[in-house]
Structure 1
Amino acid sequence: MFTQSRDPNFTIRSATIEDTALILRFIQELADYEKLLHEVVADETTLKQNLFGETPHAKVIIGEYNGKPVSFALYFHNFSTFLGRPGIYLEDLYVQPDMRGKGLGKILLGYLASLTKELNCGRLEWWVLDWNKPAIDFYQSLGAQPMDEWTVNRVTGEALDKLAAQL
């Protein structure tokens, strides 16, 4: 199913298992832009299992310009105990460099905001790298507010193993 956007050349659709290689390529392109390509360990098998398997853990939308895939967004639900409602957490938003400046990122975020409202979610959230001033400026121009009073914490690898052993 395609969703037509305000740009007659740009449509948005839900990804299918056949898009796995494309999703991986977009993830790698985004990671390369963020200077984090060395951290990508995802592969097609892992993505198929976690995005399209028995228990999908996230959803992906693909943006197509004149029928050619040029962007994607990967999101999943979180939950706000304060609001007592789910939210949508945007893990990745990517538009290929040669397609930037056409408003496609804004359209993708508009789609996700509309989905957030449609599902009666309380908020749409995402992170942005501190050095990515163009993205920060773009998000703030849309009304997004940085949550400076919060510090993100992460436990992975050996630290995750050690923490799990505390059970």
Structure 2
Amino acid sequence: MKELIDTRLEDFKLRFAEKEDVTLILDFIKELAEYEGLLSEVVATEKVLEESLFHRKSAEVIIGEYQGKPVGFALFFHNFSTFLGKEGIYLEDLYIKPEMRGKGLGGIILSFLAKLAVERNCERFEWWCLDWNEPSIKFYKKLGATPMDQWTVYRVHDEALENLAKKF
């Protein structure tokens, strides 16, 4: 039986995802990607997610259930700060179904992850947000999150990744 974690909202429970949740996780990823206008970029498969999440344990997933039905998820993993010499938690994705937004569910998940970071002796809890996503930016700032305006994210992927690897 799946272990449910009580939250401050009686009808909202959290739980760590299990292997049987791979289809649900992929569905949430696709819903999030569609919201962000990036559905065409999703190439993850159930097999890849199962391998990454439950065999290699590259990341963890929290499922949010409202009245027993899955309504959102958060995918996160540990990163490391060389300056602090300690781990942090990096939130890759947070998604709540549109019809469930405005009930405080996302805030509860973020609060749970912050609690998890404290329990795991992490120094940071961080994530990225698309610049155009004003509702999320306002929400995050309301929670006390501060944007890292002095940093720019760089990415090497596809052919550029292959070319860089060949230079070794």
TM-score by length of 1: 0.99
Letter in 1 for 2:49: L
Letter in 2 for 1:12: L
Q: 1:76: Cα distance to partner? A: 0.3
Partner of 2:74: 73
Q: 1:2: Cα distance to partner? A: 1.2
Taking the TM superposition and a 5 Å limit, the aligned residue runs for 1:145-160 are 145-160=146-161
Task: Write the distance in 2 (CA, Å) between the matches of 1:157 and 1:150.
Answer: 23
Pick one of 18, 22, 25 that aligns with 2:24.
22
Q: 1:100: Cα distance to partner? A: 0.3
Query: Please, which runs of 5 or more residues in structure 2 have no aligned partner?
Result: none
Partner of 1:35: 37
Pick one of 2, 5, 12 that aligns with 2:4.
2
Q: 1:74: Cα distance to partner? A: 0.1
RMSD: 0.5
Partner of 2:128: 127
Task: Write the distance in 1 (CA, Å) between the matches of 2:123 and 2:154.
Answer: 22
| Deviation per residue, 1:82-123 (Å, 9 max, x gap) | 111000000000000000000000000000000000000010
Task: Write the distance in 1 (CA, Å) between the matches of 2:167 and 2:85.
Answer: 30
Q: 1:58: Cα distance to partner? A: 0.4
Letter in 1 for 2:161: L
How many equivalent pairs are there?
A: 166
Q: Secondary structure at the match of 1:134?
A: helix
Q: Secondary structure at the match of 1:38?
A: helix
Partner of 1:141: 142
| Deviation per residue, 1:121-145 (Å, 9 max, x gap) | 0100000000000000000000000
Q: 1:166: Cα distance to partner? A: 1.4
Structure 1 runs of 4+ off > 3 angstroms?
none
Query: Please, which runs of 5 or more residues in structure 1 have no aligned partner?
Result: none
Partner of 1:85: 86
Letter in 2 for 1:63: G
| Deviation per residue, 1:47-70 (Å, 9 max, x gap) | 0110111x2100000000010000
Task: Write the distance in 2 (CA, Å) between the matches of 1:104 and 1:3.
Answer: 13
Letter in 2 for 1:143: G
| Deviation per residue, 1:10-63 (Å, 9 max, x gap) | 00000001000000000000000000001000010110110111x210000000
